[in-house]
Amino acid sequence: MSVSSKLDTLIARALSQSMGVELMEQLAGRIVPEYNLHERTGFPQTVPIPQIDAAQQITGDMRQANLLPRFVEVLIQVDRHGVMGRQVPIRSLSPIVAEIESLGFLFNEEYGIFVEGEGGAKTKGWGLLRQGTIYELSFLKLDIVNNTLLVRKYPPSTIRRVYASLKQTFSSLVQKRGGRVWCWEGDGGLAAFYFANKNVQATLTGMEMILELTLYNLFDCPLDKPLNVRQAVHTGPCQFLEKAEQIRSDTLRRLELIESKYTAPNNLAISPGVYTDLGTKLERFFQPLEISHRNYLYTYSLGWE
């Protein structure tokens, strides 16, 4: 994120005009644990730090760590709810928010965070996740059935066209529901979902993908047989890395197992933790699949009445 000097000035001024040094340090500690202004500024512990010096130090530290949007989220929360029952109005907050939004972000009122705007770049971490940090995420994995046989049977130009169409559909559906495609290989892809209803959004994306693929096979697919995929959804902790192929995660290993071992072609399989979040309206579309004694997955496929 490229931060303008104007944003630095606005935040430093807002801090120095809205609160004392002790509260500034406390708020910085919400983003950077054990944040210590005296250590960072070099002022002796017995010497009070001037407000403007403290404000500029905090602003600079947050910018250097690429945490200014996260820090402004804290300022918005403090402006609205105060600190320990005490109102703390933040000066010039509207211009600060406008400046961040001019950089391609939008403030999401529902979650109280800045996320990438519709017209901006779509990064794997929504402009929010930090490299190397572990997050609770939901994942949707898609794999093309019999990829090797298809590649051998059809001309490369035909396979490229079919797979490009599949990738485009998958990416569009994932982004429509707030997810991000973390990787796409020749035979399928992996998408991540982060926000509060992540299990529902990942599942709905997989269900929509089955419908879209069915329509594609009926009307547009140039192959002499339908293109088939397997999909799986699982949720759990996972480290965020920009290079998804470097991630080592039990959650992703479990997802791979569900998709490759237990999912039938043109089916979507979801783990129990995902299923319990769906609610009764969505649950009725899924059938239990016993994989061992009292251990179930839940599967969805398109049916015709």
Structure confidence by residue, pLDDT tens digits, 6-57 = 999 999 999 999 999 999 999 999 999 999 999 999 999 999 999 999 999 9
4: confidence class by pLDDT, cuts 50, 70, 90:
confident
Residue 119 has pLDDT above 70, yes or no: no
pTM of the model: 0.83
Q: What is the dihedral of CA 97, 108, 206, 160, to 10 degrees?
A: -10
Closest by CA position to 100, among listed 74, 68, 140, 125: 68
Q: Whole-angstrom Cα distance, residue 29 to residue 23?
A: 10
Q: Where are the beta strands (DSSP E) in the chain?
A: 105-108, 113-116, 134-144, 180-185, 188-193, 229-239, 268-270, 287-292, 295-300
Residue 160 has pLDDT above 80, yes or no: yes
